Structure 1
Amino acid sequence: MSSGSGQGSDPHLLSLLRAIRLRQNAPEAAGAGAADAAAALSEIAARKRKPEDDDQSEETETPYFSASGRSSDPEKTRHADPGLLWRGDPGATLGRAGMQPRASRSSIPPVGGINPSGPATPVPNIPPLAAARPIGAPGTEFPPAQAYPSIPRLQPTGSGPSRDGMDPADDQALRDTQRLLSTSLTFAGGPGEVAGRLWQALHQARPALLESLPGDPAAQRARLADAITWLVHHMENPPLLVSGCSQLGGALAECGIQWNQLHVVGAALAEAMRAGMAPGAWRQDFDQAWRWTWQHTYEWIVHGGTLTGYQPTVWDTEVVEHDLRRNDLAVLRLRPFLPMPYRPGQYARFEVTAVPGVWRPYSPAGAPHRDDLIELHVRAKTETGVSGTLVHHTRPGDRIRVTRPEGAMTLPAERGRGILMIAGDTGVAPMKAMLAELAATADTRQAVLFWGVRDLSELYDIDDLNALAAAAPRATVIPVVAEGDPGPYPGGLVTDAVAAYGEWSRHEIYLAGPPLMIASTSAALQQLGVPAARIHHDPPE
């Protein structure tokens, strides 16, 4: 990306530019330039005219690109498709969803420009290579703000070409933009204060946007501060910046965000910066830098959102707490680096580094309206596998990957029915999520949770469950102990306790636990007159 690459900077054209400059400025790097060029050209090869098609019209021809990134033939450039963000078939929808006409952005001039080191002459074809280097780099996850306590102001390292072949003027333009962003952010009070003002502006202008995101207001403001810090810190690294914004776009699309809801963010961010400065301190170059940055960030976010229809979305999370409740059971809390939506009662699949490629389903016990953490209840029979790793070999700071949430065992939309939840062992996790949601939203529906355990030692989460029930308007938790001294709780089978407690034919009933427990409980409930259509549970795996 160059700050002067104009509207809709194209990473593939950027790669081509780098290859051209490598050939001009560093002949010994011709091999690397050819690989970069092949990677860039592979994305537009479908639009390139074949040699045997010389009799076709110019509309079917892909123009050559000069060192400035624009077509050397104005007539051919006129036929280029302006709707594509950076890749894909021009007839596909990829990169087009929700985009406004580019003419509407022309009022915001770029901060800098590309200064090619040679004349703008056509570049001959570069033969494709078998092993083209991919664009981008690993480690593009969305890191927390505390990983970057301060935003460094990078200085030029020399007057010669950079290692990746970018023109020094392009590198300098990026550093100048980063310096403006960092300086203005400091003058405006820092990421935390700016994020607070931005959240307030979005809450007034686009409340539906914030309602679609997980977490309470405090968690949302914290994540906005993280995002602002990350954006400024990575301004000088275009491949990482594009990849990170693309991942953010995928996460926002999963949250149900519409792209037209994001149009206001750029102006609100600039206003949040200006409002925190002393009178007269807000400068035109500050405003220009932030609006230009958002202009490109928006396009990369939209591109990432369109990819969700073609590839699965995966979230990277960090373990922030690991609590070993029993020798074989742990409660973990994870924080996703990007917004992860889920409905209480759903499950997702988790992968640990020690067992790559194996995805194990668990039901989060948290509530999206309460905070942005994912709580897992994991019981392990051995010290190996995904469960064994999570219980015995996982510590705070470890990374865990999570897939898109699944399952329909969620709170019913119809509020006229009561809710009966019956759980066994760690099957209490999705029920806890439902209780947390009832408490966070002050839902007035009656909810009763029966938690069947073998003995008193298995009530590993009873205090948290009782606290949630107390916070919800009409919720009750009833542990049922099958063996030994039940203490203050009912003893025996959980199905007997359910039958003795009341009549449930008008309730929506949710089951979670071992497969045998689910099967026997479902059969017992149907014998009590409960319609099978009102008994909900996930399919056993």
Structure 2
Amino acid sequence: MSSGSGPGSDPHLLSLLRAIRLRRNAPDAAAAGEADTAAALSEIAAAKKDAAEKDEEETELEKPRRDPGAALARGVVPPVGGVNPSGPATPVPYIPPLSGIRPIGAPGTEFPSAQAYPSIPRGFPGKTLPGPGPHRDGMDPADDAALRDTQRLLSTSLTFAGGPEEVAGRLWHALQQAQPGLLGSLPGGPDGQRAQLARAITWLVHTMDDPPALVTGCSALGAALAECGLQWNQLHLVGAALAESMRTGMAPGAWRQDFDQAWRWTWQHTYEWIVHGGTLTAYQPTVWDTEVVEHDLRRDDLAVVRLRPFLPMPYRPGQYARFEVPGVPGIWRPYSLAGAPHRDDVIELHVRAKTETGVSGTLVHHTRPGDRIRVTRAEGDMSLPAEPGRGVLMIAGDTGVAPMKAMLAELAATADTRQAVLFWGVRDLTELYDIEALTALAAEIPRATVVPVVAEGDPGPYPSGLVTDAVAAYGEWSRHEIYLAGPPLMIAGTSAVLQQLGVPAARIHHDPAE
């Protein structure tokens, strides 16, 4: 993406400024009828091709106010439901200007700013990033006023419609009816997806008057959606669904044409920047910014850390990712992901630290809720077998139980009925730091068993000795898919024992040693 305020400027940002400066009037728009959401979206999709073939009719503005939603230089923007009134437009009552927009909800709920993504250009050389003063990145005062006017319309209509949480709930149901494949490609369950939609709507409204941050954030979202495997044509109806979700939350007659135009104009530009960001994944690595939501010190040297990405982050149970922590820049350490992507959007790490320094030491001893941690895309070939009837044997040592926990959570979330057995080898009883959670997960799976194996001291109610001896005594495993995780010596020794027991090497899976 080129930089500067001259001919080499970001084409998407320049298109925004050109649209703002046009003094044209959009076709009239009226409140949509009470039609069902899915039906309304279907009408829009069917009418889209015909509408694109019609000539645009534009007139001069009757008022001096610059309305960026008045002209898009792309053709007619139909109102929700496809209704174009023949009578005069509904008068728009005066709304006093709002003071500076304040975040809705607790700190940390909004999406990352431009500064959170150093791999993406943050601004334009020779220009000052957004700050005080009327001129920002080539914008004149009238441009700035037009954006703030659009922001006022978005904020006012969002309030009239019940707030971001209620609008996000209606939007989720509308997309579930019209584009179920879109939601199906995103991680997390319905509650988590609705929460992310609410945060996205809040962020969009608050960032509307800051074009560089808006373009950067939308580009980052596009990269995340591309990593999720989303097809861009799945986003075509999101703008109409969003406007409809606003309208249906308002009192009868409260939906106005300038609300409709503002949301549709905003989505058209947002869509372009999202797609542009998605194309960047072919040229640069995708990095997610996450927030620590829970830090649980289970032992003096071991912690379970839970993180929530600001943007959708896809991964398969059993994979790992690389993490960078504040204070240790440029050092990326791999950790297995113990989360449940089908249940929520939270990532769980199990970290043991030998010292208080480095990435592991920082995660265990110096990390607190609210801290920001960066993570790369998920890696690794470990995942549950596609063949539904094939049994699963998991053998873990120490914190290697983390990817096994993720696979158990996947079996529970999908109500899988295959046999699943987890052997967790530890030195003594004090190292069974997550046994309660594992036992609870196994109870949700019809044919799952968790077998801790204690090597030293009093084993309590569990088998004692080497984990490989317990595996050999438990049963015959040649027809199972087998997954190993833990210290490198444990993985090498267990793999050799399994092959001696007749298990084909092709059925033994583990991450490569680093």
Asked if TM exceeds 0.5, the reply is: yes
1:355 matched to 2:313? The reply is: no
Contact 2:2 2:10 in 1 (8 A): no
Alignment of 1:201-220 (within 5 A): 201-220=174-193
Q: 1:175 aligns with which of 120, 136, 148?
A: 148
1:111 matched to 2:77? The reply is: no
Q: 2:106 aligns with which of 131, 146, 162?
A: 146
SS in 1 for 2:213: helix
Q: Which residue of 2 aligns with 1:402?
A: 375
Q: Which residue of 1 aligns with 2:217?
A: 244
Q: Which residue of 2 aligns with 1:75?
A: none
Change (3 A) 1:283 1:68: closer
2:397 partner amino acid:
G
1:193 matched to 2:166? The reply is: yes
Q: Which residue of 1 aligns with 2:513?
A: 540
Q: Which residue of 1 aligns with 2:129?
A: none
Deviation of 1:41 after TM superposition, in Å, equals 2.9
Q: Which residue of 1 aligns with 2:84?
A: none
Contact 2:19 2:71 in 1 (8 A): no
Alignment of 1:71-110 (within 5 A): 110=68
SS in 2 for 1:350: strand
Deviation of 1:415 after TM superposition, in Å, equals 1.2
1:435 partner amino acid:
L
Deviation of 1:310 after TM superposition, in Å, equals 0.7
Deviation of 1:43 after TM superposition, in Å, equals 7.5
Contact 1:145 1:225 in 2 (8 A): no
Deviation of 1:146 after TM superposition, in Å, equals 2.5
Q: 2:340 aligns with which of 364, 367, 370?
A: 367
Q: Which residue of 2 aligns with 1:19?
A: none
Alignment of 1:498-509 (within 5 A): 498-509=471-482
1:361 partner amino acid:
P
Query: With structure 1 as the length reference, what TM-score do the two structures score?
Result: 0.74
Contact 2:337 2:402 in 1 (8 A): yes
SS in 2 for 1:294: helix
Give the alignment's Cα RMSD to 1 decimal.
2.7
Contact 1:108 1:288 in 2 (8 A): no
Q: 1:271 aligns with which of 228, 244, 259?
A: 244
1:436 matched to 2:409? The reply is: yes
Contact 2:324 2:373 in 1 (8 A): yes
Q: Which residue of 1 aligns with 2:29?
A: none
Aligned pair count reads: 421
SS in 2 for 1:464: helix
2:478 and 2:438 map into 1 onto residues whose CA distance is 25
2:507 and 2:395 map into 1 onto residues whose CA distance is 13
SS in 1 for 2:106: helix
Deviations 1:233-275, CA, capped at 9 Å, x for gaps: 0100000000000000000000000000011111100000000
Q: Which residue of 2 aligns with 1:379?
A: 352
1:68 and 1:178 map into 2 onto residues whose CA distance is 18
SS in 2 for 1:343: coil
2:187 partner amino acid:
P
Deviation of 1:388 after TM superposition, in Å, equals 0.6
Deviations 1:92-138, CA, capped at 9 Å, x for gaps: xxxxxxxx999589979852579xxxxxxxxxxxxxxxxxxxxxxxx
1:144 and 1:371 map into 2 onto residues whose CA distance is 22
SS in 2 for 1:377: strand
Q: 2:395 aligns with which of 422, 433, 441?
A: 422
Q: Which residue of 1 aligns with 2:61?
A: none
Change (3 A) 1:431 1:389: same
1:488 and 1:188 map into 2 onto residues whose CA distance is 57
2:333 partner amino acid:
R
Q: 1:528 aligns with which of 501, 507, 511?
A: 501
2:184 and 2:245 map into 1 onto residues whose CA distance is 20
Alignment of 1:278-357 (within 5 A): 278-357=251-330
Q: Which residue of 1 aligns with 2:233?
A: 260
Deviations 1:407-462, CA, capped at 9 Å, x for gaps: 00111111121000000000000000000000011111110000000000000000
Deviation of 1:304 after TM superposition, in Å, equals 0.4
2:359 partner amino acid:
V
1:41 matched to 2:8? The reply is: yes
Deviation of 1:180 after TM superposition, in Å, equals 0.5
Deviations 1:191-224, CA, capped at 9 Å, x for gaps: 0000000000111111111111111100110010
Deviations 1:315-365, CA, capped at 9 Å, x for gaps: 000001000000000000000000000000000000011111110000110
Deviations 1:351-385, CA, capped at 9 Å, x for gaps: 01111111000011011001100000000011111
Contact 2:2 2:8 in 1 (8 A): no
2:307 partner amino acid:
L
Deviations 1:69-90, CA, capped at 9 Å, x for gaps: 99xxxxxxxxxxxxxxxxxxxx
Q: Which runs of 5+ in 1 are unaligned?
A: 1-9, 17-36, 45-64, 71-99, 115-142, 151-159
1:68 and 1:415 map into 2 onto residues whose CA distance is 55
2:436 and 2:482 map into 1 onto residues whose CA distance is 23
Contact 2:292 2:373 in 1 (8 A): yes
SS in 2 for 1:420: strand
2:351 and 2:252 map into 1 onto residues whose CA distance is 55
Deviation of 1:164 after TM superposition, in Å, equals 4.9
SS in 1 for 2:462: coil
Q: Which residue of 2 aligns with 1:485?
A: 458
Q: Which residue of 2 aligns with 1:77?
A: none
2:282 and 2:105 map into 1 onto residues whose CA distance is 30
1:144 and 1:372 map into 2 onto residues whose CA distance is 20
Query: With structure 2 as the length reference, what TM-score do the two structures score?
Result: 0.78
Contact 1:249 1:304 in 2 (8 A): yes
1:393 and 1:105 map into 2 onto residues whose CA distance is 62
1:450 partner amino acid:
F
Change (3 A) 1:264 1:458: same
1:406 and 1:518 map into 2 onto residues whose CA distance is 19
2:107 partner amino acid:
A
Contact 1:162 1:168 in 2 (8 A): yes
1:188 partner amino acid:
A
Deviations 1:268-313, CA, capped at 9 Å, x for gaps: 0000000000111101110000000000000000000010011000
1:396 and 1:514 map into 2 onto residues whose CA distance is 28
2:322 and 2:219 map into 1 onto residues whose CA distance is 22
| Sequence identity (%) | 80
Change (3 A) 1:238 1:339: same
